[in-house]
């Protein structure tokens, strides 16, 4: 059933409210999470040397934004939850844009890489093609998109106060390929565990250069 604009507004409002009300606890609970595998997956596929222009899409309180900046990259955060925006600006000392995922305003061909770690699964499935197209447009030709989402069997709906979509690999791949990205790699996380103990599906994609075939 197609969601109406008011439904999408409600999804955003309640999901962001969930994070705003728990911002401090979320920061403390995730600050020490090791996502170096994901950061390396993005940076290792970006062509050309640093500094790279990186958009941390759904940057939360700024953990990974700070890491990119500390590595010498030009990092910009994007976040919908107001509490996270202020925390990320303070923690990372980076520029952070407050934008709803359903109302993005991104500059064209600005970034070498987009890091969407635990973010895109909050986008309703009917809106995902638009969001992926906007991320494609904000990347430079040859730029790289990294995504990591909790995977499932394509369930969609509310889960503990947040709206989410839990794609399997085939469905996720279909969406991103349809947005004209080229697949580079995918893997499940955390590493070294049986698949049933790996809730996260990570994937890496490239925006084709002008004149290049898919």
Q: Strand 139-150 and strand 200-207: pairing?
A: antiparallel
> So what's the architecture of 5-27+37-207 in CATH?
3-Layer(aba) Sandwich (3.40)
CA 140 to CA 33: how far, in whole Å? 29
Q: What is the CA radius of gyration of the chain?
A: 16
Predicted confidence band at 144 (pLDDT cuts at 50, 70, 90)? very high
How far is it, in rounded angstroms, from Cα 25 to Cα 132? Answer: 30
Instruction: Please provide the average confidence, as pLDDT, over all residues in the chain.
Output: 95
The token pair at 200 is 């996260």
Structure tokens at 198: 């790996």
Q: Is the pLDDT of residue 214 over 80?
A: no
- HSE-CB for 79 with a 13 A CA cutoff: 29
Question: Can you point out the beta strands (E) in the chain?
Answer: 53-57, 74-79, 95-98, 111-117, 139-150, 155-159, 162-166, 181-189, 200-207
Phi and psi torsions of 176, nearest 5°: -75, -35
Q: What whole-number distance in Å separates Cα of residue 76 and Cα of residue 69?
A: 9
Are the beta carbons of 20 and 81 closer than 8 angstroms? yes
Least trusted range by pLDDT, from 42-51, 52-61, 135-144: 42-51
Which alpha helices (DSSP H) does the chain contain, by range?
5-21, 23-30, 36-43, 63-70, 82-92, 128-138, 169-178
Q: Can you give the pLDDT at residue 213?
A: 46
Q: Are 143 and 46 in contact, with CB atoms under 8 Å apart?
A: yes
Q: pLDDT tens digits, residue range 60-70? A: 999 999 999 99
Q: Which pLDDT belongs to residue 211?
A: 57
Question: What is the model's pLDDT at position 212?
Answer: 55
pLDDT digits (tens, 9 = 90+) for 15-50: 999 999 999 888 888 888 889 999 999 999 999 878
Cβ pair 70, 76 in contact under 8 A: no
Q: Which two tokens stand for residue 31?
A: 């600050």
């Amino acid at each position: 059933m197609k969601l109406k604009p008011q439904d999408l507004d409600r999804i955003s409002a309640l999901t962001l409210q969930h994070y705003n009300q728990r911002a401090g606890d979320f920061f403390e609970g995730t600050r020490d999470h090791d996502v170096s595998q994901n950061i390396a997956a993005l940076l290792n596929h970006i062509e050309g040397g640093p500094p790279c222009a990186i958009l941390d899409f759904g940057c939360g309180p700024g953990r990974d934004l700070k890491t990119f900046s500390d590595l010498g990259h030009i990092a910009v955060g994007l976040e919908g939850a107001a509490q996270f925006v202020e925390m990320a600006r303070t923690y990372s000392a980076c520029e952070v844009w407050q934008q709803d995922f359903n109302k993005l305003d991104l500059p064209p061909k600005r970034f070498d890489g987009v890091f969407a770690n635990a973010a895109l699964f909050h986008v309703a499935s009917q809106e995902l093609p638009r969001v992926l197209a906007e991320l494609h447009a904000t990347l430079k030709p040859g730029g790289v998109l990294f995504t990591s989402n909790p995977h499932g069997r394509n369930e969609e709906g509310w889960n503990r106060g947040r709206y989410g979509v839990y794609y399997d690999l085939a469905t996720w791949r279909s969406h991103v390929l349809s947005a004209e990205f080229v697949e580079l790699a995918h893997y499940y996380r955390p590493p070294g565990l049986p698949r049933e103990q790996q809730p996260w599906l990570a994937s890496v994609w490239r925006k084709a250069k002008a004149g290049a075939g898919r």
